[in-house]
Chains A and B, each alone.
Chain A
Amino acid sequence: MEITLNWYLTLSALLFSMGVIGFLFRRNAIVMLMCVELMLNSVNLSLVALSQSMGDTAGQILVFFVMSVAAAEAAVGLALVIAIFRDKLTIDVTQINLFKY
């Protein structure tokens, strides 16, 4: 059985929707950030598969930049988590309601 591009795109879509599920349903802020990483990663997978099947390097350059942005996002996000934990002593996102009232 030949592995076509469809399989890679389907796997990417599955991993992306799992990341969305985690982001919506988990309450731990760190795990939510991890789910964002999972989503970025699944997009990278589809970009690499498309780029390689077309024989074009542009997609992989884009993946390189997405990884850099993901690293920056993780650093700033985790710094925010630390700052919030210092203030509220929790990282449960249902307890963090600074803007609610």
Chain B
Amino acid sequence: MTASILFFVLASVAIAAALGMLISRNPVNSALWLILNLFCVAGLYLTVNAEFIAVIQVLVYAGAIMVLFLFVIMLLNLSVLPDLKRIEWRRIIAFIMGMGLLAMLMFIVANTLDMVPDPVTLQVAAETGSATSLAKVLFTQYAMPLEVIGILLLAATIGAVVIAKKKPV
């Protein structure tokens, strides 16, 4: 019972934070709402006993990535808020059609696979979410993708520095 209450509280705060991110006009407020959303999703990971992913979520997402976002927002120092424009119907139609396609695809996939979701009871799943069991497969079965991800991060770091560097005039 407490688990379901926890789920609903975290889920509603996550949705409210996502809405707040969408409708706040100042990008700093958007970033802060997104951080709240990321924390709530980390809490949801804890409700399914995925402790390692929850910790990584807080460290990497709410910590590193959002600090980067806030840093760039403050670096650019956009004091002038953009004016509100009229609603663009083209984008609304694009959104509705895209969501319709997504719903159709999800319906077809769910129908074909005949997925009957299990209840997330997860006394059994406690060990699959721990850092120990994840590290065992990460450094044996998935060692090669891990190395590739390392190279990708190095390339992204160098690329970011090169792109953001001031061009020599």
Q: Which residues of A contact B (CB under 8 A)?
A: 1-9, 11, 13-15, 17-22, 24-28, 30-31, 33-35, 37-38, 41, 44-45, 48-49, 51-58, 60-61, 63-65, 67-76, 78-83, 85-86, 91-92
Contact = CB atoms under 8 A, between A and B. Distances in A.
B44 A79 contact: no
A52 B125 contact: yes
Contact of A8 (B120, B125, B145): B120
Name A's interface SS: helix
B11 A11 contact: yes
Contacts of A19: 18
A20 to B, nearest CB: 7
Given A24-B95, A64-B53, A71 B153 contact: yes
Given A3-B7, A22-B22, A52 B31 contact: no
Nearest to A92: B82
Name B's interface SS: helix
A60 B134 contact: yes
Given A57-B133, A82-B72, 4 more contacts: A1-B4, A4-B118, A8-B48, A15-B18
Interface in B16-59: 18-19, 21-22, 27, 30-31, 34, 37-38, 41, 44-45, 47-50, 52-53, 56-57
B55 to A, nearest CB: 12
Contact of A76 (B3, B65, B163): B163
